[in-house]
Chains A and B, each alone.
Chain A
């Protein structure tokens, strides 16, 4: 992309990802993939780990105009390592023209990114691997029916946390884990904020080294909401401060959107069946307040 992206008018009008995939209606992960892919372009090879997106390429169909390699749940970054090294070797030997080069894009859900694949990810960062990691974070093992994962937020009902208090743990801070490894670039995005997403993908694309685009992926089936609300829920995640939009670059974390005024978290929670137990049959004020306090504490630190 030659001109920098400053407004919605600068976003690509042609779309690379084919339609008619087997993913759910209203999939927030697919929304961010669509947008990111248009900017990354067709000269990419997607290296996939087990998750919802694995079903995108199902023999004999693929919605991608680029290459694709399914690996395992735990080792997609290592797959990217093998591809990157092999492309470099072939180019160095003169067996591959530099025009044929590809960007290795690891595409996984939160199950791989926050848990099973974390060692492989951390090691790829250690090695300074030149790759982009696109994580669609639907806050649970979505492809198997939304069991809780290390990315599940406090209090959410999942298939394995059905009690009245929902998931007892707290969402792991993958952004901070990446930042602690000193990669080139880390950003959070959501498909409901396409301009912010586009600017970050564009920035990531212009850089070399380990880069993460961490996309909150509102999940109609896993979070239990009407597919038509996917975009609204994404917006509310940002405007309530539940999902901070930020980036790490040149050793600094910058928030790209400071929600002001910040809406009460309740407005985000209310639309989702996974939090319905906070409101019905009776309101669970302490738990709602606990979630609110966590968000408030985060932003108090940011704004201090």
Chain B
């Protein structure tokens, strides 16, 4: 066990290395590229035995990944944003193949407009597919989650692919101190892959991913995926208990921070939750009873853990780094469906959207949100959903628009 400084991307690559992955189908995309470059270099130099193959697209990459997993090897792959969407057909297909591969997604906002920086709309496009989904907030968690994801995904009660998510730039390119597990410990925690019934063999022909006729057969197999996902809740619990025994760190489906006596709670996922923690500290110093629940396990959705953590709270401010166009924050809707009718459900569930495409969420915004939901709890009136945007930002975009307009006028004037 050694401590090193790693970027989020390097931690993901280390996770794959310590998991003794056999096969890495790859395709470059910012901000994920460092992961596959690292693995490709390790493979070339004989540091890892894994075979790294660059496909011509993420759609092919994910097809190769799922096909290789269906043949019986341990598979790792990574992508971001547009790449994830380009491969989305296979994201939806792979769970039905029941292949326990691990896909790291480095979150990045989706076009249009095209951008490089982070939000969660890319990840949320996979929400209903049947991948187990762990959303990380620290570099250490990225590495650990890759190992944990394999254990849960490969468990006989689950047998589904998994996504480990980290935020582009703010986590992918940030160096943090990481406790690097020894290979021995990693192997103790994650034994060699047992493909079980998967595999194409001359002596044991198998027809995989075949068509079904009629809704009855179709429903049966779709329900199987859903039920297997739900079983992953208790499996994750077991696996993380074992992880804690070996490595001394434990995560859980949600992370709670200062929630025990909290009246109001921030609810969010991803690396910006660490800023919410800092805001909680400041607010507590000012005498406010504020806490944070960070969603780590997006799928399966940990309904019971969330209900327990939020029972009796006065108000929850859900901060979504995504927009479901025409509806609003996705986590807000997810949380509402989990809490509605539950004993002790907070009466106020307010929605805030921020942090899109790499936009920061400032400490002052957390304070303002806390102020607003506290007032809402007192009055018993839920505030309207808010799109976080400051006056300074509005001035700045007006300036950019003025420049764009001036440019066009110049062209039209032929000057």
A interface with B by C-beta (< 8 Å): 42-43, 45, 47, 54-55, 57-59, 62, 64-72, 74-83, 85-90, 93, 95-96, 99-102, 119-120, 122-123, 126-127
Contacts and interface: CB of A to CB of B under 8 A. Distances in A.
- Max chain B Cβ within 10 angstroms of own Cβ: one of A75, A77, A101, A126: A75
A75 B59 contact: yes
B209 A82 contact: no
Contact of B22 (A86, A119, A127): A86
Nearest to A72: B89
A120 B57 contact: yes
Interface in B298-355: none
A183 B60 CA distance: 19
B127 interface: no
Contact of A68 (B22, B23, B66, B207): B207
Given A64-B207, A81-B53, A85-B51, A90 B63 contact: no
Interface in B45-75: 51, 53, 55-57, 59-61, 63-73
B63 A62 contact: no
Contact of A81 (B64, B207, B210): B64
A46 to B, nearest CB: 9
Contacts, number: 152
A81 to B, nearest CB: 5
Contacts of B70: 69, 82-83
Given A69-B70, A82-B71, A123-B55, A58 B203 contact: no
A119 B55 CA distance: 10
A85 B68 contact: yes
Contacts of A76: 63
Contact of A90 (B67, B72, B202, B208): B72
Nearest to B67: A82
B56 A119 contact: yes
A89 to B, nearest CB: 5
A64 B208 CA distance: 12
A90 B217 contact: no
B93 interface: yes
B90 interface: yes
19 contacts: A59-B210, A66-B205, A67-B201, A67-B205, A67-B206, A67-B208, A69-B209, A71-B209, A74-B89, A82-B71, A83-B71, A85-B53, A85-B64, A86-B22, A88-B51, A90-B73, A102-B201, A119-B56, A122-B56
A55 B213 CA distance: 9
Interface in B205-234: 205-213, 217
Contacts of A67: 200-201, 205-208
A130 B63 CA distance: 17
A101 B61 contact: no
Size category of the binding interface on chain B: 35 or more
Nearest to B209: A70
Contact of A79 (B23, B63, B203): B63
B210 A102 contact: no
Contacts of A88: 51
B202 A70 contact: no
B216 to A, nearest CB: 11
B202 A43 contact: yes
B68 A82 contact: yes
A280 B70 CA distance: 53
A75 B58 CA distance: 10
Contacts of B72: 86, 90, 95-96
B358 interface: no
Nearest to A57: B210
A74 B59 contact: yes
Contacts of B207: 57, 62, 64, 67-69
B83 interface: no
Contact of A57 (B55, B63, B211): B211
B253 interface: no
B25 interface: yes
B60 A75 contact: yes
Contact of B212 (A43, A59, A77, A120): A59
Nearest to A73: B89
A54 B209 CA distance: 10
Interface in B18-62: 22-23, 25, 51, 53, 55-57, 59-61
Given A64-B205, A81-B60, A100-B203, 20 more contacts: A42-B202, A62-B207, A62-B210, A64-B207, A67-B200, A72-B89, A78-B61, A78-B63, A78-B64, A78-B67, A82-B68, A82-B70, A86-B22, A89-B22, A89-B73, A96-B72, A99-B202, A119-B57, A120-B56, A123-B57
Contact of B211 (A47, A58, A123): A58
A118 B68 CA distance: 21
A89 B68 CA distance: 10
Contacts of A87: 71, 200
B225 to A, nearest CB: 15
Q: Which of A68, A101, A122 has the most CB atoms of chain B within a 10 A radius of its CB? A: A68
Given A82-B71, A90-B73, A68 B64 contact: no
B51 A69 contact: no
A59 B211 contact: yes
A28 B4 CA distance: 63
A79 B212 contact: no
A42 B202 CA distance: 8
A72 B55 contact: no
Nearest to B97: A69
A78 B211 contact: no
Contact of B67 (A42, A57, A83, A123): A83
